[in-house]
Amino acid sequence: MKVAMIGTRGVPARYGGFETAIEEIGQRMARDGDEVLVYCRGAEEPIVTYLGMELVHLPAVSGKAIETLSHTFLSILDLVVRRRGSIDVAIVFNSANSVFLPILRLFRIPVAVHVDGLEWQRAKWGTWGRRYYRMAEALAVRWADALISDAQGIVDYYRDEFGAASEHIAYGAPILRDLDTTKLEPLGLTRHGYHLVVARFEPENHVLEIVAGYAKSSASLPLVVVGSAPYSDEYTAKIEAIAAGDERIVLLGGVWDQEQLDQLYANTANYLHGHSVGGTNPSLLRAMGAGCHVTAFDVSFNRGVLGENGRFFTDESAVPGVLAEVETELVQDLAAHESRAQGLQDRAAKVYQWDAVAADYHRLAVRLDNGELRRPHYSGRRRS
Distance CA 245, CA 228 (A): 19
Q: Taking the model in full, what pTM does it have?
A: 0.87
Answer yes or no: is pLDDT of 133 > 90.
no
**Percent of all residues in the chain with a pLDDT value above 70, rounded to a whole number:** 95
Instruction: List strands edge to edge, sheet with 311-313.
Output: 249-253, 223-226, 195-198, 270-273, 294-297, 311-313
- Rounded to an integer, what distance in angstroms lies between the CA atom of residue 200 and that of residue 276? 12
pLDDT digits 0-9 by tens, 136-164: 999 999 999 999 998 888 899 899 999 99
Least confident interval from 229-233, 245-249, 351-355: 229-233
pLDDT for residue 73:
97
* Least confident range of 11-15, 168-172, 304-308: 11-15
Does residue 125 register a pLDDT over 70? no
Q: How far apart are CA 366 and CA 112, in angstroms?
A: 12
pLDDT tens for residues 54-110? Answer: 999 999 998 777 999 999 999 999 999 998 889 999 999 999 999 999 999 999 999
Give percent of the chain above pLDDT 90: 77
pLDDT (0 to 100) of residue 272:
98
For the ranges 127-131, 209-213, 267-271, which has the lowest average pLDDT?
127-131
Q: How deeply is 384 buried, as exposed, middle or buried, from its count of CB atoms within 10 A (0-12, 13-18, 19+)?
A: exposed
Is residue 172 within 8 Å of 17, Cβ to Cβ?
Answer: no
Give the model's pLDDT for residue 243.
Answer: 97
Give pLDDT, residue 231.
64
pLDDT number for residue 123: 64
Q: What is the pLDDT of residue 30?
A: 98
Mean pLDDT of 317-340: 97
> CB neighbours of 144 closer than 8 A, spacing ≥ 6?
92, 98, 101, 111, 112, 113
* pLDDT of 153: 84
Residue 32 has pLDDT above 70, yes or no: yes
Q: Which fold is adopted by the domain 2-172+353-369?
A: Rossmann fold (3.40.50)
- CATH 3.40.50.2000 residue ranges of the chain are 2-172+353-369, 185-351
Are 72 and 92 a contacting pair, CB within 8 Å?
A: yes
Per-residue confidence (pLDDT) for residue 302, from 0 to 100 = 92
Full 3-state SS string of the chain: CEEEEECCCCCCCCCCHHHHHHHHHHHHHHHCCCEEEEEEECCCCCCCEECCEEEEEECCCCCCCCHHHHHHHHHHHHHHHCCCCCCCEEEEECHHHHHHHHHHHHCCCCEEEECCCCHHHCCCCCHHHHHHHHHHHHHHHHHCCEEEECCHHHHHHHHHHHCCCCEECCCCCCCCCCCCCCCCHHHCCCCCCCEEEECCCCHHHCHHHHHHHHHCCCCCCCEEEECCCCCCHHHHHHHHHHHHCCCCEEEEECCCCHHHHHHHHHHCCEEEECCCCCCCCHHHHHHHHCCCCEEEECCHHHHHHHHHHCEEECCHHHHHHHHHHHHHHHHHCHHHHHHHHHHHHHHHHHHCCHHHHHHHHHHHHHHHHCCCCCCCCCCCCCCC
Q: Give the separation between CA 123 and CA 372, rounded to whole angstroms.
A: 38
Q: Does 342 or 117 have the greater pLDDT score?
A: 342
In 3D, which of 132, 84, 128 has the Cα closest to residue 104? 84
CATH of domain 185-351: 3.40.50.2000
Amino acid at 358: A
What's the pLDDT score for residue 44?
67
Under a CB-based contact definition with an 8 Å cutoff, are residues 295 and 288 in contact? no
For 271-307, what is each residue's pLDDT tens digit? Answer: 999 998 777 888 999 999 999 999 999 998 899 899 9
